[in-house]
Chains A and B, each alone.
Chain A
Amino acid sequence: QKEVEQDPGPLSVPEGAIVSLNCTYSNSAFQYFMWYRQYSRKGPELLMYTYSSGNKEDGRFTAQVDKSSKYISLFIRDSQPSDSATYLCAMSESTDKLIFGTGTRLQVFP
């Protein structure tokens, strides 16, 4: 079993939809949780960064961490075609040595 599990998708939604992306993990020592967005042939771009449990909002993006369930989520409101990319969850015990999920490919169609 992998330390971090993420549904690879693809997830296809219409423009304007609310998107929910999720990851589960097994290591209870993880304290730092991140979401990265990766466009084709580009490096991952940091979207959200959360320490411990709770919610964090940034514009159309909301990250949630539930450490008791070992479950993290990223919500994208009013999704746009430009949001079409692969979304990677990552986590670590410190901020070093990130453990990544396999990524969920998202397609937002007009």
Chain B
Amino acid sequence: KAGVTQTPRYLIKTRGQQVTLSCSPISGHRSVSWYQQTPGQGLQFLFEYFSETQRNKGNFPGRFSGRQFSNSRSEMNVSTLELGDSALYLCASSLGPGQDTQYFGPGTRLTVL
């Protein structure tokens, strides 16, 4: 069974731009969560989607948003990029809320110049 896939793997943007990252969960998984990983803060929870609805949200500004499609694929968007948004963005999928734990993709490394 294929794992979680994320595209693109690497991205370079400049301040003020916006970016969209994509995540395809493991087949049969319906929950998708997003995390930001930085050297200073470690892994921090961004948000979680299930059945196209956001179920949980972390402590990030409104510039960070996401959505989930009917096939469980998810996208996250960051608008008005700041230098501090440079990070590894990780997507994780699970069967559903309260079912099993989360399996991570390889991440998208975003660099903001």
Please choose the segment from A13-21, A39-47, A64-72, A73-81 that sits at the chain B interface, where 4 or more of its residues have CB less than 8 A away: A39-47
The answer on a CB contact under 8 Å between A88 and B58 is no
- For B58, give the chain A residue with the smallest CB separation: A97
Q: How many residues of B contact A (CB 8 A)?
A: 27
The answer on a CB contact under 8 Å between A101 and B90 is no
CB of B97 within 8 Å of the partner chain: yes
* CB of A4 to closest CB in B, whole Å: 9
- Per the 8 Å Cβ criterion, residues 1-59 of B in contact with A are 4, 31, 33, 35, 42-45, 48, 55-56, 58
The answer on a CB contact under 8 Å between A94 and B104 is no
Bound-state CA distance A41–B4 (Å) is: 15
Which size bracket describes the interface of A in this complex?
Answer: 20 to 34
The answer on a CB contact under 8 Å between B97 and A96 is yes
Residues of A within 8 A of B56 (CB): 96-97
Q: Which B residues fall within an 8 A CB radius of A?
A: 4, 31, 33, 35, 42-45, 48, 55-56, 58, 90, 92, 94, 97-107, 109
